[in-house]
Copies of this chain bind each other. A is one copy, B any other.
Amino acid sequence: MTGRGGDRVAESGQTKAPLTGGPVIILVEPQLGENIGMAARAMFNCGLGELRLVRPRDGWPSTQARRAATGAACVVEDARVFETTAEAVVDLNHVMAASARRRDMVQRVLTPRAAGIELNRLMASGARTGVLFGPERQGLDNDDMALAEAAIEAPLNPAFSSLNLSQAVLLVAYEWLIAGDETPAEILTEGASRPASKADLLGLFDHLEGELDKCGFLRVREKRPVMVRNIRNIFQRARLMEHEVRALRGIIACLVSREK
């Protein structure tokens, strides 16, 4: 699955720079280099470029991380390492935390979608933001949670809600990206062709119905109107292109000629 985006970055793909101003992703005590690399890839897929690591278990730099990042190796190479979570967030204005379990704390809990919208709003106001993610198994501890203003929790399958670390990063980064994206929900790829006009369609209907009259398909007079409408609806629904109408008329002509 590949983007057709480009509202915020040139479609040419010549720029390799991440979109600026988005949230910093902060992984606290990540265990597997592969997960760090996959998280970096997910970040870059969504236009994020600033990765911070707090006490990565297997040290840093990590060959596994760089390999798993594939084309997002730049994000891994630019990652900064911190001794404490507090040091990793000190220059930010607003911090949220992807939470692993409910705590005995009074805290705002947002869906990833609501968090993506809020992170966009904060960015627009000039604030620097970040999102904390805990270690693979345990999640963030309560002291790290208390560094955040809000928790993010996805309403997943309660029977199996534990996301892989890089998948959790993807959901938050994706919702941040989509909240600021204006790609239309649906388009029709048209290649070099143009949508058929109603004149094209009516020409097709006349052609088809004329041949169907000749061959006797529409011979029952009282059923003819409803049959014609049903056939027209099939082709109306298909949202035909100009060249497709020409192809269908060619098909009709060819079928008629074989009948002789």
- Greatest chain B CB density within 10 A among A10, A158, A166 is at A158
Residues 123-167 of A at the B interface (beta carbon under 8 Å) = 133, 139, 151-164, 166-167
CB nearest to A16 among chain B residues? B159
In the bound complex, residues from chain B placing their C-beta under 8 Å from that of A59 are: none
Q: Does A221 interact with chain B (Cβ within 8 Å)?
A: no
A45 touches B160 (CB 8 A): yes
Residues 81-133 of A at the B interface (beta carbon under 8 Å) = 98-114, 133
A159 touches B103 (CB 8 A): no
Number of copies: 2
Q: A106-B191, A191-B104 are in contact. Are A3 and B155 (CB under 8 A)?
A: yes
Partner of A159, one of B9, B177, B241: B9
CB nearest to A168 among chain B residues? B1
Which residues on A are within 8 Å of B, measured CB to CB? 1-7, 9-19, 38, 41-42, 44-47, 70-72, 98-114, 133, 139, 151-164, 166-168, 170-172, 174, 177-178, 181, 183-191, 193, 241, 244
